[in-house]
Amino acid sequence: TSLQMDIKITGITEEIMKVALDQARDGRLHILAEMNKALNTARPELGEYAPRIETIHIPVDKIREVIGSGGSVIREIVAESGAKIDISDDGTVKIASANAESIRAAINRIKSIASEPEVGEIYKGKVVKVMEFGAFVNFFGAKDGLVHISQLAEGRPKAVTDVVKEGDQVWVKLLGFDDRGKVRLSMKVVDQTTGRELEKASAE
């Protein structure tokens, strides 16, 4: 509805304004035409390395687990994924990165910590402690469970160390929880190469 021009003369004629506007329109259309040569339709999704932010929500009572003691867990997630993570008091988690895979990795790790494992499901885990009666396996984020010596392999082994040692990567099936709420795991019902359940294995 108006034009502003910095000029030293007392004014401009209507003809000068018309010419100036026509030239501006021609210039704008020329620029748009050149842009159209490079990209004439909108991309269906963001490019792989376009900056983006994704938001997820976790239970408020799981925030402490995701952050970890002194921020140890969240720092580890950031270091491994390369994403920037911000957690609000209401459980809103914002994950930012220019790399889509980085965001996916961070989300998967956060969900594995904030969610609860399901009985009957098979998980990849790591042996974190070996005792005479069995091995403790860290799985599903920060969860730990016991693989009793009777659940290590078919034909009860004489010693836990005959089957596993600390640091081993293993497949485990979540059998359930004991009367104290402790997690019960089994290795012998899972093929340790493929991670698939063995049909004839017994978990009793």
Tokens at 47, concatenated:
């490019």
Who's near 81: CB < 8 A, 6+ residues apart? Answer: 97, 102, 103, 105, 106, 109
> Which of residues 98, 114, 130 is at a domain's end?
114
Residue 187 near residue 126 (C-beta atoms within 8 A): no
- Split into its structural domains, the chain has a count of 2
- Verdict on whether the full-model pTM lies above 0.85: no
**Within-domain flag for 103:** yes
> Which of residues 93, 114, 135 is at a domain's end?
114
d(CA 177, CA 180): 8
**Within-domain flag for 15:** no
Query: For the domain that residue 145 is a member of, what is the CATH number?
Result: 2.40.50.140
**Within-domain flag for 26:** no
- The reply to whether 61 and 109 lie within a common domain is yes
- The reply to whether 96 and 145 lie within a common domain is no
Task: Look up the domain containing 156 and give its range.
Answer: 122-186
Residue-wise pLDDT tens digits, 177-202: 988 888 999 999 999 999 999 875 54
Residue-wise pLDDT tens digits, 44-73: 766 666 788 999 999 999 999 899 889 999
d(CA 148, CA 146): 6
Tokens at 147, concatenated:
């693989």
Residue-wise pLDDT tens digits, 2-44: 666 666 667 778 888 889 889 999 999 999 988 888 877 777 7
Residue 90 near residue 82 (C-beta atoms within 8 A): no
Query: For the domain that residue 59 is a member of, what is the CATH number?
Result: 3.30.1370.10
